[in-house]
Amino acid sequence: MEPFADYLDKLAKVAVQVGLGLKAGQEVVITAPIEAVPLARKIAEYAYRAGSPLVTVLYDDDAATLLRFQHAPESAFEHAPKWLFEGMAAAFRSGAARLHIAGSDPNLLRGQNPERVARANRARSMAYRPVLELITSFEVNWTIVAYPHPAWAQTVFPNLEQQQAVQKLWDAIIKASRLDTPDPVATWQAHNRQLSERVAYLNHKRYSALHFKGPGTDLLVGLADDHVWAGGAGQAKNGAVCNPNIPTEEVFTAPHKDRVEGYVRSTKPLSYQGSLLEDIEVRFEKGRVVEAKAKTGADVLHKVLQTDEGARSLGEVALVPHSSPIAQTGILFYNTLFDENAASHIALGQAYSECIRGGSQLSPEELAAKGANSSLIHIDWMIGSSQIDVDGISPSGQAEPLMRGGEWV
């Protein structure tokens, strides 16, 4: 019997039934690290049992990626598989659902030339744009789940043997993803109801800004005109109700790209495409980052900020209580899917059009006029902790306490 058979089964079932909300007759495109074969296969099984006619799995190989940085010619890093992403976009346009299995080696590209890494990332982001647009506008149902890649497990638990580290990371993924219950699908339905109540409250309040205050942080995040809060399950344009992230604990909306002022310090390290960024400190003026430093990965951060015009402005602000099961594990996952759901966060770059009322019907110019940011990047980093207070600022300028010491008031 496959080790972790029970874990694989629970995760695959929730991925298909809750994460994708897969409709009968829908194709599925899965992207996954090669190490995640057991999970990809289990997901394929559940997808076929739910009536999918075709599941296509595209595997990624960390070792092959590293060989490119070691041996490819200098001009290689302008290249990206545009043809592949155009094909994926075509699949989604014709109705396929999208599932990504996260969990590669967070330190894969540590030690590689950051300028090359940045060029490769930029080329990839540009080629990926057609896919990203379909996903951020919820043309189709999509979800991301995680698999305990051995190199990831050993980054999280550096003092354990590989086998033990994988075991512990599996346990943490299951607990953090609310799968440690007799009926995880029912648990997720209840969790989604709670998130949607929070969303309804914030949408009713119509705050014009959020104020974050704590050690190293005094940040006023203006919210976009006609912003909409979202979180938990959402309905894609094809009618499917999906949970884009397993786990998810956040409620989030679109900041106004020109109305962010003050300074902010990250509260957890950020693992970004093979590099680790620690103790990020940035200052905003009129919505743009005007100063940025980091104790580790400052060069990567500066390159990221130069990606394009929108890379210096915010595309997301999200609230997560410090008591979320992920924060409760006390583990730094070195993976945004988990770490962003352990703490309130902001994201540099692209905004979600679902976070603007009627946003999916608006042109890029109309979205920008409401304050929604646009960029090739979308990078979440954590600014919440048990020491952070958050106020909602009403349209008349009144401050109302939303979070104290990292918890909902």
Positions that interact with Zn ion (CB under 5 A): 250, 252, 316, 318, 347, 380
Nearest approach in angstroms of CB 378 to Zn ion is 6
Single-letter residue type at 315: G
Least Å distance between CB 245 and Zn ion? 8
Closest CB 339 distance from Zn ion, rounded Å = 10
Cis ω before 184 (30° cut-off from 0): no
Radius of gyration of the chain (CA): 20
Q: Please, what is the minimum distance in Å from the beta carbon of residue 32 to Zn ion?
A: 21
Measured over the CA atoms of residue 46, residue 43, residue 180 and residue 340, the dihedral's sign is negative
- What is the smallest separation between the CB atom of 360 and Zn ion, expressed in angstroms? 18
Q: Are 150 and 166 in contact (CB under 8 A)?
A: yes
In terms of CB distance, is 43 or 382 closer to Zn ion? 382
CB of 380 to Zn ion, least distance (A): 4
| 329 half-sphere exposure, CB direction, 13 A CA radius | 24
Choose between 52 and 375: whose C-beta lies nearer to Zn ion.
375
The secondary structure of 125-142, three-state, reads HHHHHHHHHHHHCCCCCE
Identify which of residues 280 and 318 has a Cβ nearer to Zn ion in the complex.
318
CB nearer Zn ion, residue 105 or residue 380: 380
Identify which of residues 29 and 377 has a Cβ nearer to Zn ion in the complex. Answer: 377
Cβ nearer to Zn ion, comparing 101 with 382: 382
First to last CA, the chain: 47
Residues in CB range of 223: below 8 A, 6 or more apart: 207, 208, 209, 210, 253, 254, 255, 256, 259, 317, 371
Sign of the CA dihedral with 33 first, then 345, 320, and 198 last: negative
